[in-house]
Amino acid sequence: MNDVSTNSPVAQRPAHVTDAVTYDFDMFGDAAYVADPHKRILDLVKNAPPIFWTPRNGGHWMLMTHSANFHASRDTEGFSSEIVPQAMIKAMMAKMPPGSPHIPQPLPITIDPPDHTAYRMPLQRAFSPKAMLGLQKSIRELAVDLIEKMKAKGGGNFVDEVAEPMPVQIFLKMFGLPLERQQEYRTLVKEHMEGNQNHDPRAIVARMLKLTSIMRETVLERKENPQDDLISMLWQSEINGKPTTLADLENYCVVLFTAGLDTVVNGISHGVLHLAKNPDLQRELRANPEKIHGASEELLRRYTFTVPLRRIAKDLNFQGVEMKTNDRVMLFLPAADLDSSEYPEAERYDLQRQNSVHIAFGVGPHRCLGSHLARLELQIVYEELLARVPEFRLDPDKPVTYHGGHVVGPDAVWLRWN
């Protein structure tokens, strides 16, 4: 067992978990992981069992291989996204006194089919590739503005200067929310990213209530005066044949906020960190900007960074491992994308890779709804950064720092250039 003070306490191992599939790893606090996440993931891929149970953070399974993650993601009957079953949530809500505030839920990410499909449908249209192309111009303007501001300073922490403000501003623009209030949203994103380090459900609910309360005025206003934005579009949608309600709108706001902001922040930061360490790659992409799309995809594979959660919904034997109802499972997608049986020499960042189909956006019914938007944001940032900033590198005086958790990534990436 690791003897690291930041690791969570050790949970009692359930009887159905054997020694052979037990391995100690704390996805929040493991010192080597927090020091350099993907180095540690490569170490786990080599040394840990392909599916293992860790006693940390209350005890849970970790799926390491591509095959395990692929199949579990598609098996919604065995691997439920309802970490708290919907029936239980409905029963709790029914007991709340009349007039209690609506407790927003990040739907559809936390429900299973068939309801999942009904809740996903309205968002699917809003985030189609065609709809996203309409945003291209404003994403580029925003990226240029942030990059030029950082450039004028002669360097800076890329996470704070570009990676974090960019998706927040795009979120506000898509939703038609007032840009003047961006500081409130940025503070909430920061709190959400820090909250990713612990699972206090009361703190999560408090943050979600804060988010819906700052959005409510605009949400209600758009019902009366529809405009060309996402909120107005969602008001005109139906779920299971019924018009959407304020509660539905609040659920959608919450899911897009939690799923669409810190993911992009971390994605861009991983990518720019790799570029900063690899001047040859910068040169190659500056000379051949048409390669940036492929480069961005390979960055997503090499530095996959989200870890979705599932609950075992019925006792099962999964790829030879006994799992019991209510066991918790981490889809450790970062390891799946470094599985050498799927990607030869998986460790190598390789623009010529034959199999470039990664699992960074998940797979199965919950596959990322925002992948077209995310891809656009990543690609445009790389294009504009490479076009505007001369060869950049990491500031040797300011080390890169990282966080672990469900969205793993750098907190600080200080850049310098001549």
Rule CB under 6 A: choose which of 132, 233, 369, 380 binds ligand HEM: 369
Counting contacts by CB under 6 A, is residue 235 touching ligand HEM? Answer: no
Name the minimum Å distance from CB 165 to ligand HEM: 15
Rounding to the nearest 10 degrees, give the CA dihedral for residues 294, 300, 303, 304.
Answer: -150
Closest CB to ligand HEM among residues 52, 361: 361
- Nearest Cα neighbor of 235 from 122, 100, 128 is 122
Query: What single DSSP character describes residue 100?
Result: P
Is the CB of residue 171 less than 8 Å from the CB of residue 256? yes
Indicate the residue type of 303: Y
DSSP string, 314-358: S-EEETTEEE-TT-EEEE-HHHHTT-TTTSTTTTS--TT-S----
292/333 with CB nearer ligand HEM: 333
Q: Is residue 308 involved in binding ligand HEM (CB under 6 A)?
A: yes
Minimum gap (Å) between residue 9 Cβ and ligand HEM: 26
With contact defined as beta carbons under 8 Å apart, do 407 and 263 qualify?
yes
110-139: contacts with ligand HEM (CB under 6 A): 120, 123
Q: Is 59 in the site for ligand HEM (CB under 6 A)?
A: no
Of 341-360, which residues contact ligand HEM (CB under 6 A)?
360
Binding flag, residue 370, ligand HEM (CB under 6 A): yes
Using CA atoms, how far apart are residues 394 and 253, in angstroms rounded to an integer?
A: 36
- Closest distance of CB 407 from ligand HEM, Å: 8
Which residue bears the tokens 């034959």?
354
For position 264 contacting ligand HEM by CB under 6 A, the verdict is yes
Q: Is 267 among the residues that bind ligand HEM (CB under 6 A)?
A: yes
Determine if 313 is a binding residue for ligand HEM (CB under 6 A): no
Pairing mode, strands 328-331 and 309-312: antiparallel
Nearer to ligand HEM, 57 or 80 (CB): 80
Which segment (234-242, 255-263, 278-286, 289-297) binds ligand HEM by CB under 6 A? 255-263
Q: Which of 21, 34, 109, 312 binds ligand HEM (CB under 6 A)?
A: 109
The Cβ-side half-sphere exposure at 130, using a 13 Å CA radius, reads 2
Q: Which of 189, 336, 338, 373 binds ligand HEM (CB under 6 A)?
A: 373
**Distance from C-alpha of 303 to C-alpha of 408, rounded to nearest angstrom:** 9
Q: Does 81 bind ligand HEM (CB under 6 A)?
A: yes
- The structure tokens listed for 298 are 């390979």
Q: How far is the CB of 215 from ligand HEM (least distance, A)?
A: 14
Q: Which of 27, 150, 168, 255 is close enough to bind ligand HEM by CB under 6 A?
A: 255
DSSP 8-class letter at 243:
E
Neighbours of 155 (CB within 10 A): 17
Please list the residues that pair with 410 across neighbouring strands: 402
Regarding beta strands 409-412 and 328-331, do their DSSP bridges make them parallel or antiparallel, or are they unpaired? Answer: unpaired
Q: Which residues bind ligand HEM (CB under 6 A)?
A: 73, 81, 108-109, 120, 123, 255-256, 259-260, 263-264, 267, 306, 308, 333, 360-362, 366, 368-370, 373-374
